[in-house]
Every structure is written in C-alpha cells, then in structure tokens.
C-alpha cells in the first residue's frame, strides 16, 4: 500500500459514521470529536509525518504523527485499520502548539551524560561516542544514545530532565534495549536507529 493509498483509506475510515469501520468509538469519536482532514508533510529530520485536523467540540486542533513508511511497516502500522487505531490513541498527546523561541539561557552546569547516568543508576560506562551502557540494579542492561551536545540541549531545556528520562527507562519492555533521543525527547526502542521502534508487546 502506497502512502497515498493509505491516506485515502484513512480518510474513508475517519469519515464513516458506521461502527462497521472497525474504529473503537468508546472515547467519543464521531460524537465528541472527529478527524476531518489529513496531510502528509516532511519533518525537518527527513521523516514523513501525518498532519491531522481534529474538530474537538468547539475547537479545531492539529496533531502531528509519525508516518515514515519503513517505521510503519516495522511497527505493524502499514494498514489503514491499524494506523487509524494508532491515530485515535495518540492524537491528543501529539497536538501541535505554537512555540516561541526561548531567549538566551544563563550558563547551566550540566553533568556529562555518563556522569549523570552513574548518579542515577550506579553502573554506567561510555561504550563509544554518543553511546552509554547502563546496568540497572536488577541486572538489566540498556544503551542510551545521545551525543554530549544532544544531552546538554535535553537537560538545559527541562527542570526535571533525569525524572523524564527515568520515566522512559522504567516503562521499557524487556526487548527494548535502547533509549534514543528523537525530536527532543527520549524514547525506548528495540533498535538504535531512528525513528525509535517500540516492542510489539507495547500498545504503542
């Protein structure tokens, strides 16, 4: 199925009013909110996204979801029914908000990624540039992928950066051995390559 064919199939699903379309409407889809438009755009990082226009009560919002074809195939989201379910589950957390470029920040003493991980997990060792191996107390091992520059940007922009990272680490599935930085946030993944790919055990 090509991208254009998938988008057309999604449009048909989201426009339908019958429960026969297979959508789970228990969250109010069709009555309280509806996806009214779809458009594929290229992200700054080279991966395709799907822009969704959503009429939610009296508000109209835009959500942006990853639509990269190779990622969809690897994630089991390359058919209209699966991607539609994914979109309904994720659109609220993916609303596009207007952003204002922050002004200059005062210098911040940011610990190196290896040092910061060692403080939280005890056993952390640099494997190579941009990759740190972390051994948790229970013996589980994961690899964190972030260059020093990426790490500084991540930490400087968040008052509780380690808390955000630890939440991702704590929610990993057993086969998610990698924690990768993608679009400004860390994600657990079964592979080091981007975009991150969640475990098939995960509800996405």
Positive or negative, the CA dihedral 136, 164, 50, 82 is: positive
* pLDDT tens per residue across all 204 residues of the chain: 899 999 999 999 999 876 656 788 888 998 999 999 999 999 999 999 999 999 999 999 999 999 999 999 999 999 999 999 999 999 999 999 865 455 555 445 678 999 999 999 999 999 999 999 999 999 999 999 999 999 999 998 788 999 999 999 999 999 999 999 999 999 999 999 999 999 976 765
Cβ contacts of 174 within 8 Å, gap of 6 or more:
199, 201
């Amino acid at each position: 199925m090509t991208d254009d064919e998938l988008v057309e199939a999604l449009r048909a699903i989201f426009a339908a009013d019958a429960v026969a379309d297979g959508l789970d409407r228990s969250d109010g889809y069709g009555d309280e909110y509806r996806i009214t438009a779809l458009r594929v755009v290229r992200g700054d990082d080279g991966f395709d996204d799907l822009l969704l226009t959503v009429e939610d009560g009296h508000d109209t919002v835009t959500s942006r979801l990853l639509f990269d074809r190779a990622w969809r195939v690897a994630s089991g989201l390359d058919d209209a029914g699966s991607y539609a379910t994914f979109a309904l589950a994720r659109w609220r957390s993916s609303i596009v908000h207007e952003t204002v470029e922050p002004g200059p920040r005062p210098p911040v003493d940011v610990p190196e990624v290896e040092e910061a991980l060692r403080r939280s997990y005890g056993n952390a060792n640099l494997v190579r540039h941009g990759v740190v191996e972390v051994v948790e107390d229970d013996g589980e091992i994961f690899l964190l992928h972030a260059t020093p520059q990426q790490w500084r940007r991540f930490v400087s922009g968040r008052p509780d950066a380690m808390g955000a990272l630890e939440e991702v680490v704590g929610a990993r599935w057993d086969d998610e051995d990698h924690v990768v930085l993608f679009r400004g946030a860390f994600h657990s993944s079964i592979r080091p390559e981007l975009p991150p790919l969640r475990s098939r055990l995960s509800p996405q």
